[in-house]
Structure 1
Amino acid sequence: MSGEDMLPPLAMLLSAHAGPQADRHRALWAFDARLAKVARTTSEATIGQMRLAWWNDVIEDVERRKGRGEPVVDALRATGAIGAPGLVAMIDGWEVLVAEPQVDAPGLNDYAVGRGGGLFRALADADDAPDWLVAAGQVWALWDLAGHVDDRVLAEAALTRARALLGQADGACWPGAWKPLRIAFTLARQDVIAGRGSPRGMPRTLAWRLLRIALVGR
């Protein structure tokens, strides 16, 4: 088993556009997927928070001992992604869904800033990321949440918040090295405008849209 076994199909395709940073991107997406699993499989908030705290300990372990042999941990360390900015923020974002039985508007914002903003900062390896990149990450995270929760009220709230953030990221000049993030944001943007959350899995239509965005930018 490797960290890649944790990757959703979309993350695999996006990572393929990261060039020499592909392994690092795959490790970060696998980390996000592992945190998502904690949120998805936890029924007791305290236990879920303990599981997330373990990941905080892994990140802070300068001796690189804690979690050794765990595939995602090993992948993060092997690629240098363990030192990426935004990892702790991602944990904090996912903790909102673990700790709160009902996610209110401030909680939804904290989730988006933490998970989405943190993930995009980590993928871009940008500690001092521009505000538009963090906003783009929030849009992506809210789009993804809207497509994977059964609570339609929460899904609609996520899409409403995502629409409100679009103006902060639209028109940004994406560096070439951030191509996978541009693709991810553009996919999310198209669906958010149409009032849709992310599809589950990898339908053929999503794969074709990704390819088109990669080739022509839209």
Structure 2
Amino acid sequence: MDLPEIEGEPLAAEHRIAIGYMARNLRAPMSVYFALDQRLGRIVAKTTEPMLGQMRLAWWRDMFANPVAMRPTGDAVLDAIGNHWEGQEEALSALVDGWEHMLVEPPLSESSLLNFANGRIAPMLTLVAPLNEASPTDAGAALRRWALADAAANTAQGDERLLMLRLASSQGSSPKRFARGFRGFAVLDALARRSVERGGRPLMEGRTAALIALRAGVTGN
């Protein structure tokens, strides 16, 4: 699989499977997206003072506002963004904005979580929009379900997890079948549905997870 190696950012198993079922020209940008998403998620998870977390997230927005040639080098994720996302940084800024909604004082509200989910999926929708083969509405529902279910699986707050799972369950139906080249979205959606049914367990937990992911990648639903 032609994925760029990003030092210090090994991709989660579900990400690697999903990327493998995307169009070849989308695989490198998708892998960079997941690496950035993981980095931002760690910033939020380790933040005890919201203002400090906001400052760390703002650094990324500042970098995206600069031309690639004016950005510092040496950060593996930022370097990869320059190689694979030049000209599309606005969507990555939306991802940063999405994660920032997770820094509000608890408990997280429904609107904060939906803003988080919409920001988190913005880069993926941006990638597929020019191809006109995946409905943004249908893809958005599936990807929001993934964003919320994945967040639920990684939170220790019981009430917030329940709200995330409820919102994930309330997303609209997915397409009957994702087009070839976008079946990575079906992988994420299938794993998200399974996680929600299991009360917010990790997406790849259990022996059947990989089989469900591979089946979704092959069939597109």
Amino acid at match of 1:60: A
Q: Does 1:137 align with 2:140?
A: no
Deviations 1:120-173 (A, max 9, x none): 3144355996222222221111100111101111111111111111xx233355
Secondary structure in structure 2 of the residue aligned to 1:54: helix
Q: Is contact 1:85–1:118 with CA below 8 Å preserved after alignment?
A: no
Matches within 5 A, 1:1-218: 2-3=5-6, 5-6=8-9, 7-18=11-22, 19-80=24-85, 83=88, 86-115=91-120, 117-124=121-128, 130-165=136-171, 168-171=172-175, 173-192=177-196, 194-199=197-202, 203-218=206-221
Secondary structure in structure 1 of the residue aligned to 2:8: helix
Cα separation, 2, equivalents of 1:199 and 1:209:
14
Secondary structure in structure 2 of the residue aligned to 1:36: helix
Secondary structure in structure 2 of the residue aligned to 1:176: coil
Q: Is contact 1:148–1:200 with CA below 8 Å preserved after alignment?
A: no
Amino acid at match of 1:145: A
The count of residues paired between Structure 1 and Structure 2 equals 213
> Which stretches in structure 2 are left out of the alignment for 5+ residues?
none
Matched-pair identity in %:
26
Cα separation, 2, equivalents of 1:208 and 1:81:
35
Cα separation, partners in 2 of 1:50 and 1:109, compared to 1, 3 Å: same
Amino acid at match of 2:84: T
TM-score (norm 2): 0.84
1:188 to partner: Cα distance: 1.1
Cα separation, 1, equivalents of 2:56 and 2:205:
28
More helix by share: 1
More divergent stretch after superposition (134-143 vs 199-208): 199-208
TM-score (norm 1): 0.85
> Which stretches in structure 1 are left out of the alignment for 5+ residues?
none
Q: Is contact 2:125–2:136 with CA below 8 Å preserved after alignment?
A: no
Secondary structure in structure 2 of the residue aligned to 1:35: helix
Cα separation, partners in 2 of 1:202 and 1:17, compared to 1, 3 Å: farther
